């Protein structure tokens, strides 16, 4: 069970990186949301940061993906504690 969880988390991360570099914008967003729902994955925050550093139009533009991933990281924490942490 633990191995499956770890594998799935890795797959989401790889898919998120691929989506950030070469896929449609919704792909990294979907992997971030799914990762945050289940694990509070720190690597999903990296995916959001990658999207913003790669595509933001200017230095001071608002980093939507980074802020969204950090927000989801904190917002889903009570739910993760309730349902997934033993």
Partner 1 sequence: MNSFRQNKQTRKLSIVTLVTLAIFVTDVASGGVLRGFIHTVGAGAESVIALFMQSDFFASRNALKSENQSLKREIARLNTLIVEDSALRAENRALRDIVRLADRSVGIAAPVITSARRSPYGTFLIGAGAVDGVRVGDLVLAGASPGVVVGEVTQIDAHRALVQQIFAPNISTEVLVSGVPLFLSGRGGGSARADAPRDAPISVGDIVIAPSFGGRPIGVVAAVEKNVTGASQTVHITLPVNMAATLFVYVSNK
Distance (Å, whole) CA 16 – CA 81: 24
Decide: is 60 part of the binding site for partner 1 (CB under 8 A).
yes
Decide: is 72 part of the binding site for partner 1 (CB under 8 A).
no
Three-state DSSP at 56 gives coil
Decide: is 32 part of the binding site for partner 1 (CB under 8 A).
no
Please report how close the Cβ of residue 57 comes to partner 1 at its closest, in angstroms: 4
Please check whether residue 14 is in contact with residue 43, taking contact to mean a CB–CB distance below 8 angstroms.
no
Of 44, 45, 53, nearest to 14 by C-alpha is 44
Please report how close the Cβ of residue 8 comes to partner 1 at its closest, in angstroms: 20
Of 20, 21, 57, 61, nearest to 32 by C-alpha is 20
Decide: is 42 part of the binding site for partner 1 (CB under 8 A).
yes
User: Footprint of partner 1 on this chain (CB under 8 A)?
Assistant: 21-25, 29, 40, 42, 45-46, 49-61, 63-66, 70, 73-74, 77, 81, 85-86
């Amino acid at each position: 069970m633990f191995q499956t969880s770890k594998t799935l988390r890795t797959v989401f991360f790889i898919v998120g990186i691929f989506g950030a570099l070469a896929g449609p914008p919704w792909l990294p967003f979907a992997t971030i949301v799914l990762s945050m729902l289940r694990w509070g994955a720190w690597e999903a925050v990296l995916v959001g940061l990658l999207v913003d550093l790669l595509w933001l139009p200017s230095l001071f533009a608002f980093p939507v993906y980074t802020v969204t991933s950090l927000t989801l990281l904190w917002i889903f924490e009570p739910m993760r504690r309730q349902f997934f942490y033993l």
